Amino acid sequence: MDIKAYLKEKRELIDSYLRTYFENSSLPSVLRDAMKYSLFAGGKRIRPVLALASYEACGGEPKDILPQAAAIELIHTYSLIHDDLPAMDNDELRRGKPTNHKVFGEALAILAGDALLTEAFFMMTNTNPPLPPLSKGGQGGLFSPDKPVVSPVLQSAVLRVIREIALSAGASGMVGGQAIDILSENKQPDREIVFFIHLHKTAAMIKASVRIGAILSDSTEDKIEALTTYGENVGLAFQIIDDILDIEGTTEELGKSSGSDNNKKKMTYPSVVGLKEARREAFDLVSSAIDALRVFSYRANPLREIAVYLMERRT
């Protein structure tokens, strides 16, 4: 299969959903501009695409879970905006463009992040068919519900998805990882701490992205477990590769300052085990990820190829 064509097609599905969503909205314009600036800055939509591919592996039709998949990108984008803030990583460049606070100021960057995170949970409740409308005065929102019936199975699945994403994005997951990352700067590199940071800051949300595909398709236990292993391993490998690229890539290739981890005395995998060993571990993780998918048919081929693609990427 042509994995690049697959990724492009799925990325366009997500982009098109997000564009329509934000066109229809009546948010205060400056805030909406700040949200859209980072959301449409050219992200690869890896997390939502993993959710779609996972749903497809379980026999589903990707376009049916666009709200839940796209919501993950809102959370990813908010995390980048807040991570780049002067009080955090103090980055000026992201995806080749000035960071959000450089363009809109710190106050609006904080608020744009808060708004994207909150909007993600609203977006996830856009079930298909939609929830029945409530009386005036609060509902309606960006996408008005207009059909009366929701299957109880779908409702339960969407509640589980919200639970999964909140857990993986919050203090027990991504935010917890970022807190330890910030607190570990300038400290002696330590393998266990680096593992904790990668597992929480990056792998938790990637694992959740893959898992929601299985949850929404009401998949069997063995498939959910296989996808959980796949997601965690790919998530860890993804971050190790990121660390390696930060050392080996150029600023132009990366769209952000290369060597910035080292300049900020960040704890990274290569700083603990060396470049060669880091590369070997990423390879092992990707192998284990693909191996976990043996319970799946050809329908999981996109997931298999994405794992290889993410390891071989240069940006």
Residues in 118-147 that interact with a second copy by CB under 8 A: 118-119, 121-122, 124-125, 127, 131, 134-139, 141-142
Question: Least distance (Å) from a second copy to the CB of residue 40?
Answer: 16
Does 77 bind a second copy (CB under 8 A)? Our answer is no
Report how far residue 286's alpha carbon sits from residue 4's, in angstroms, rounded to the nearest whole number: 18
Q: CB of 252: closest distance to a second copy in angstroms?
A: 29
Closest to a second copy by CB, 51 vs 110, is 110
Of these, 32, 44, 264, 279, which contacts a second copy (CB under 8 A)?
A: 32
CB closer to a second copy, 1 vs 134: 134
**Distances in Å between the alpha carbon of 164 and those of 149, 210, 221, 231, 271?**
24, 11, 16, 13, 32
Cα distances from 254 to residues 92, 199, 206, 267, 289, in angstroms, run: 13, 22, 20, 19, 25
Q: Which of residues 179-218 bind a second copy (CB under 8 A)?
A: 179-180, 182-183, 207-208, 211, 215
Q: Give the footprint of a second copy on residues 232-271 (CB under 8 A).
A: 232
Give the integer Cα–Cα distance in Å for 201 and 183: 13
Tokens of 45: 């939509």
- Tokens matching residue 265: 């005395």
103 is a site residue for a second copy (CB under 8 A): no
Of 246, 267, 88, nearest to 184 by C-alpha is 267
Helix (H, G, I), strand (E, B) or coil at 93: strand
Nearest CB to a second copy, comparing residues 163 and 280: 163
**In 3D, which of 194, 199, 201, 126 has the Cα closest to residue 169?**
201
Name the one residue in this structure whose structure tokens are 């290739």: 253
- What are residue 257's phi and psi, to 5 degrees? -60, 120
CB under 8 A: which stretch of 12-20, 109-117, 249-257, 286-294 binds a second copy? 109-117
Considering only 159-167, 245-253, 268-276, 279-287, which stretch makes contact with a second copy by CB under 8 A? 159-167
**Binding map of a second copy across residues 37-76, x = CB under 8 A, - = no contact:** ----------------------------------------
Q: Of 57-65, 102-110, 265-273, 277-285, which segment contacts a second copy by CB under 8 A?
A: 102-110
Position 275 contacts a second copy (CB under 8 A): no
Helices (H), 217-274: 221-248, 251-254, 260-263, 269-273
Residue selected from 18, 115, 285, 290 as contacting a second copy according to rule CB under 8 A: 115
Q: Least separation, in Å, of the C-beta of 124 and a second copy? A: 8
CB of 184 to a second copy, least distance (A): 11
In the three-class reduction of DSSP (H, G, I as helix; E, B as strand; rest coil), residue 43 is classed as coil
Q: Is 23 in the site for a second copy (CB under 8 A)?
A: no
Helix axes 3-23, 29-39, angle to 10 degrees: 180
Q: How far apart are the first and last CA of the chain?
A: 22
Q: Which is nearer to a second copy, 208 or 286 (CB)?
A: 208
Q: Under the criterion CB under 8 A, does residue 114 sit at the interface with a second copy?
A: yes
